């Protein structure tokens, strides 16, 4: 592997390495204060130990999940792009919720024995809040408060787990429900701080968990509670809107400071005060089609869902808030080897920005642009005439499905158009997810390693 490939590998997997090391540190601390042979010698000990271990790992993963939701550019350094940060956010959230759900279930299950019917009632009641008798001792009251906090966190996470993985919600309502993740986490932290268990026996473990708890709460407050104040956004004004069938072209000019970006990056944009025109006031990601040297931004949006369809009602003068830019889908990062850009449909947008910055790329670049019909091509004259005339290292290869007897683009076709085939080249994919999945599989089938194939897969409709 070259130095660039090693750097990219660390960017891609370094975040995951840190996640799992951070998650298992409290387990190692737990092992330091417990006798494994004794703890796992009885069914009661097995269930107790597993319940505690799952709770420790799940809590740290929960805090990390809140950090990954920050949508901050520094996180891209650990996951090779914000799209992969969100993949990590989804995976860690699923693991955290599952482990924290199993935590009380295992603790309840330790009360079950062969007299199942007699003990089942107690185990079931274990998952419901306790009555707090203030006449009891301070420690008894503290434990009752702690257990109740844990139970509230447990049921909150159960509801969120069901809504996230088993119920298909409208995006706006799904986003609203996620605001309660921080509330449930706060109760989980209260449970950690006050419970009389192994966390109270090991100061190192307790303070480690408290530290992650404070980090998680700070991340939640920064993004969800105070995001409108703390998160940096750039005000832009819409100066032109052109609707052609399902495609909408939007041009924007900065109202104050211009946002800096690299070719191939994307932004989150929210159009303000436009609900009366039918435009949904949510922040959504879109790739930038304009070049960094241009005075303003240009976006191409295809109507694929409720939000993108609502942009047909956008008008000149609309104010937009822009957050970004994000993404590592930038060709300059991958050395001087020849590059092959493969675009499908609206996936051409990041390549338009890259093509406008060809002066930064000394190597040969092949752009394969696949659309269903010729009329669907965006900026065809620029790609076909202007760029090849001004940049001799740029080769434009259109692929029109209707003109190919309805056959989809294949890796064989792309390779046949590239001098010397795929060997020794960096390949970039952007388009509909099924197209990218199929193309990646076909290219991998030709013996090209995955590290040579780069894709942009961040999309919401």
What are 397's strand-pairing partners? 368
- How would residue 117 be classed by pLDDT, with cut points 50, 70 and 90? very low
Whether the per-residue pLDDT at 154 is higher than 80: the answer is: no
- CA torsion 59-63-69-70 (nearest 10°) is 180
- Find out whether 314 and 239 touch, Cβ atoms under 8 Å: no
Span 338-375, pLDDT tens digits: 999 999 989 999 999 999 888 888 889 999 999 999 88
**Separation CA 174–CA 177 (nearest Å):** 5
Structural domain spans, the chain? 3-229, 234-326, 331-455
Mean per-residue pLDDT, 131-136: 61
**Separation CA 448–CA 450 (nearest Å):** 7
CATH level 2 (architecture), domain 331-455: 3-Layer(aba) Sandwich (3.40)
CATH level 2 (architecture), domain 234-326: Beta Barrel (2.40)
Whether the per-residue pLDDT at 461 is higher than 60: the answer is: no
Q: Which residues contact 366 (CB under 8 A, 6 or more apart)?
A: 338, 339, 340, 341, 395, 397, 417, 418
* β-pair type (426-430, 453-455): parallel
Highest average pLDDT, of 177-191, 210-224, 264-278, comes from: 210-224
Mean per-residue pLDDT, 81-87: 89
**Separation CA 419–CA 411 (nearest Å):** 14
Average model confidence (pLDDT) for the chain? 84
Q: Which residues contact 34 (CB under 8 A, 6 or more apart)?
A: 49, 198
Helices (H) and strands (E) in the chain, counts: 18, 11
Mean per-residue pLDDT, 186-199: 79
Q: What is the DSSP string of 116-149?
A: HHHHHHHHHHTTSPPP--TTS-HHHHHHHHHHHH
Task: Name the phi and psi angles at 441, rounded to 5.
Answer: -60, -40
Token couple for 209: 């968990």
Span 288-301, pLDDT tens digits: 999 998 889 999 99
Q: What is the DSSP string of 29-93?
A: HHHHTS-HHHHTSSHHHHHHHHHHHHHHHHHHHHHHHHHHTT--GGGHHHHTSHHHHHHHHHHHH
Mean per-residue pLDDT, 265-271: 93
**Separation CA 322–CA 270 (nearest Å):** 7
pLDDT score at 131: 64
Burial class (CB in 10 A: 0-12, 13-18, 19+), 184: buried
Token couple for 266: 């994307």
Span 406-418, pLDDT tens digits: 889 999 999 999 9
| Residue 228, helix vs strand vs coil | helix
Q: Which residues contact 21 (CB under 8 A, 6 or more apart)?
A: none
Mean per-residue pLDDT, 243-259: 91
Q: Which residues contact 326 (CB under 8 A, 6 or more apart)?
A: 71, 73, 76, 81, 82, 265, 266, 267, 268, 285, 458
Report the predicted TM-score, pTM, of the whole model to 2 decimal places.
0.84
Q: Bin 282: left if φ > 0, else alpha if -120 < ψ < 50, else beta.
A: beta
pLDDT score at 443: 95
Mean per-residue pLDDT, 94-99: 86
- How would residue 127 be classed by pLDDT, with cut points 50, 70 and 90? low
Token couple for 284: 């959504």
């Amino acid at each position: 592997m070259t130095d660039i490939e090693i750097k990219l590998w660390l960017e891609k997997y370094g975040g995951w390495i840190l996640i799992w090391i951070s998650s298992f540190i409290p387990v190692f601390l737990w092992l330091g204060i417990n006798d494994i042979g004794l703890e796992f010698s009885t069914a009661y000990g097995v269930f107790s130990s597993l319940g505690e271990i799952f709770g420790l790992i799940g809590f740290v993963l929960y805090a990390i999940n809140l950090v990954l939701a920050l949508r901050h550019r520094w996180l891209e350094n650990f996951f090779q792009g914000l799209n992969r940060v969100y993949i990590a956010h989804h995976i860690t959230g699923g693991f955290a919720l599952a482990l924290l759900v199993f935590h009380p279930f295992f603790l309840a299950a330790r009360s079950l024995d062969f007299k199942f019917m007699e003990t089942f009632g107690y185990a079931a009641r274990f998952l419901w809040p306790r009555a707090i008798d203030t006449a009891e001792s301070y420690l008894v009251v503290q434990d009752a408060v702690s257990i109740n906090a844990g139970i509230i966190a447990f049921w909150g996470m159960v509801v969120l787990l069901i809504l996230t993985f088993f119920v298909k919600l409208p995006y706006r309502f799904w986003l609203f429900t996620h605001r309660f993740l921080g509330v449930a986490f706060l109760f989980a932290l209260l449970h950690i701080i006050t419970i009389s268990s192994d966390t109270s026996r090991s100061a190192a473990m307790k303070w480690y968990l408290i530290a992650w708890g404070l980090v998680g709460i700070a991340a939640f407050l920064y993004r969800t509670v105070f995001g409108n104040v703390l998160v940096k956004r750039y005000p832009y004004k819409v100066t032109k809107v052109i609707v052609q069938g399902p495609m909408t072209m939007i041009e924007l000019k900065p109202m104050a400071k211009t946002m800096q970006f690299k070719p191939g990056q994307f932004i989150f944009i929210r159009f303000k005060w436009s609900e009366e025109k039918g435009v949904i006031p949510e922040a959504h990601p879109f790739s930038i089609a304009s070049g960094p040297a241009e005075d303003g931004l240009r976006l191409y949006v295809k109507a694929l869902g409720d939000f993108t369809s609502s942009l047909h009602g956008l008008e000149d003068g609309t104010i937009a808030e822009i957050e970004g830019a994000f993404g590592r889908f930038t060709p300059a990062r991958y050395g001087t080897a020849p590059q092959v850009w493969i675009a499908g449909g609206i996936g051409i947008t990041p390549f338009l920005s890259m093509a406008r910055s060809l002066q930064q790329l000394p190597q040969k670049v092949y752009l394969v642009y696949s659309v269903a019909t010729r009329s669907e091509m965006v900026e065809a004259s620029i790609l076909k005439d202007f760029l090849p005339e001004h940049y001799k290292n740029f080769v434009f290869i259109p692929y029109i499905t209707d003109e190919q007897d309805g056959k989809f683009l294949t890796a064989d076709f792309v390779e046949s158009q590239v001098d010397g085939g795929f060997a020794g080249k960096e390949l970039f994919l952007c388009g509909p997810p099924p197209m990218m999945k199929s193309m990646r599989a076909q290219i991998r089938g030709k013996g090209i390693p995955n590290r040579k194939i780069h894709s942009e897969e961040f999309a919401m409709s």
